[in-house]
Amino acid sequence: MKNGNHSLLEAFNNTTYQVSGHGKRNVQVLKDAFDDADGNMNSDMYGNGKPIEEFQEKMAKYLGKPSAVFFPSGTMAQQIALRIWCDRIGIKKVAYHPLSHLEIHEQDGLKQLHHIETVLLADKERTIELEDVLNMKEDVACVLLELPQREIGGQLPTYEDLEAISAHCRAKGIKLHLDGARLFEILPYYRKTASEICGLFDSVYVSLYKGIGGIAGAILAGDEDFTSESKIWKRRHGGDLISLYPYILSADKYFDQRVSKMDTYYEGAKELAELFNECHAISTKPSIPVSNMFHVHADMPKERFESALTSVHEQSGIGISPYVNSTSDTACYLEISIGDRYEAIPKAELKKALRLLDETMKKLFR
């Protein structure tokens, strides 16, 4: 919880409904995850065995790739993917967005462990477009695209741009890697299958605890020789655990439960963004969401928005967010990710809460 505000967090924790997520991340989730699993099923052992092999095959098929490997984290999976491509091409340089997870959330693991240099494409406010890739002056082994671009509210390039970037990279011998932390969540907007989108990329990472709502874990998919090499690097990183089955079994269960609900989450995000955009001094980014997520920006200092939210939480019983991030001294934002919880909120109460937010914001501006 970054930039935590105690009153806001407490008020949020006391609400009856919450707009984001699938539910609490507590021990009950673990109990539920293994409740109906067969007690006699053996654990995976260092990357082998039924639970991991079957799930990897299932995910490879879903993503339309020859092979898939389960990783404890996306951080590990993606550094390894980029390392493999750099070694293959013989260039220790990759290109990605300035707000890529690798650039801002991984303590520079890619540079510190793999000595890979980075070229930052596009600017912080928008997604990478075809022009950015065409105008790239430096030779890189790989371009990484994050779909949707999380740190700017989950924006997406057009599908035509994606296809053109893919064709260009293929023609130039540049590998294209998909940071698909939220791949499932963008399928309804693009109206494509996962397999169609992954077909544009040489390697693909997907997360299993965001839209899918597992405990933790990730999948890295690609050709057989790519995934075989990734297993060696998984061992080197310390990610080839004796047992990953708590993550695998829960990912498998929640994948089956939620992968078909991405359309519902997407529709919910559009509906809720519209309600936020009716509020004073508030706007969403994107203005119309293209996935289950968006950012809510407020034209006021973080502390004032926190007190507005605290008040709305207390009065409405509906939790909007447990935290707010500062954009500048006079602006701030929070992130919304629609999951199972959203459907459970009575629509009339939700609208009342948003009207209350509107009024609270107006009062603060008086």
Q: What residue ranges bind a copy of itself (CB under 8 A)? A: 1, 24-31, 34-35, 37-43, 45, 71-77, 79, 106-109, 112-114, 209, 215-216, 232-233, 235-247, 249
Cβ proximity of 198 and 221 under 8 Å = yes
Shortest Å distance, C-beta 173 to a copy of itself: 25
Give 76 or 95: the residue with its C-beta nearer to a copy of itself.
Answer: 76
Cβ closest to a copy of itself, residue 50 vs residue 61: 50
Question: Nearest distance from residue 78's CB to a copy of itself, in Å?
Answer: 8
| Minimum gap (Å) between residue 214 Cβ and a copy of itself | 9
Q: Of 6 and 137, which CB lies nearer to a copy of itself in the complex structure?
A: 6
**Cα separations (Å) of 225 from 166, 222, 253?**
21, 8, 28
Q: How far is CA 107 from the centre of its chain?
A: 18
Sequence-ordered list of residues with C-beta below 8 angstroms from that of 220, at least 6 positions apart, any chain? 68, 69, 71, 77, 78, 80, 81, 203, 204, 205, 227, 230
105 or 172: whose CB is closer to a copy of itself?
Answer: 105
Write down the least CB distance from residue 20 to a copy of itself, Å: 15
Residue 216 C-beta: closest distance to a copy of itself, Å? 5
Q: Which helix (H) or strand (E) holds 226?
A: helix 224-237
Nearest distance in Å: CB 115, a copy of itself: 9
Angle between helices 6-13 and 302-316 (to 10 degrees): 20
Q: Please say which residue, 61 or 235, places its beta carbon nearer to a copy of itself.
A: 235
Spatial separation of the C-alpha atoms in residues 25 and 31, rounded to whole Å: 11
CB of 30 to a copy of itself, least distance (A): 5
Q: Which is nearer to a copy of itself, 55 or 276 (CB)?
A: 55
- Measured distance CA(309)–CA(356) in Å, rounded: 10
Q: Name which of 166 and 203 has its Cβ closer to a copy of itself.
A: 203
Parallel, antiparallel, or unpaired: how do β-strands 318-319 and 17-18 relate? parallel
Is 217 or 286 the residue whose CB approaches a copy of itself more closely?
217
Measured from the CB atom, the residue of 189 and 245 that comes closer to a copy of itself is 245
In angstroms, what is the minimal distance from the CB of 34 to a copy of itself? 5
Identify which of residues 190 and 323 has a Cβ nearer to a copy of itself in the complex. 323
DSSP assignment of 330-358: TEEEEEEEB-HHHHTS-HHHHHHHHHHHH
CB of 306 to a copy of itself, least distance (A): 20
Phi, psi angles (nearest 5°) of residue 203: -145, 155
Phi and psi torsions of 201, nearest 5°: -115, 150
Supply the minimum distance, in Å, between the C-beta of residue 84 and a copy of itself. Answer: 12
Closest CA to 183 of 63, 13, 314, 300: 63
Residues 248-251: contacts with CB under 8 Å, at least 24 apart: 248/44, 248/51, 248/52, 248/55, 248/70, 248/217, 249/33, 249/34, 249/37, 249/51, 250/29, 250/30, 250/33, 250/34, 250/214, 250/215, 251/55, 251/70, 251/208, 251/209, 251/212, 251/214, 251/215, 251/217
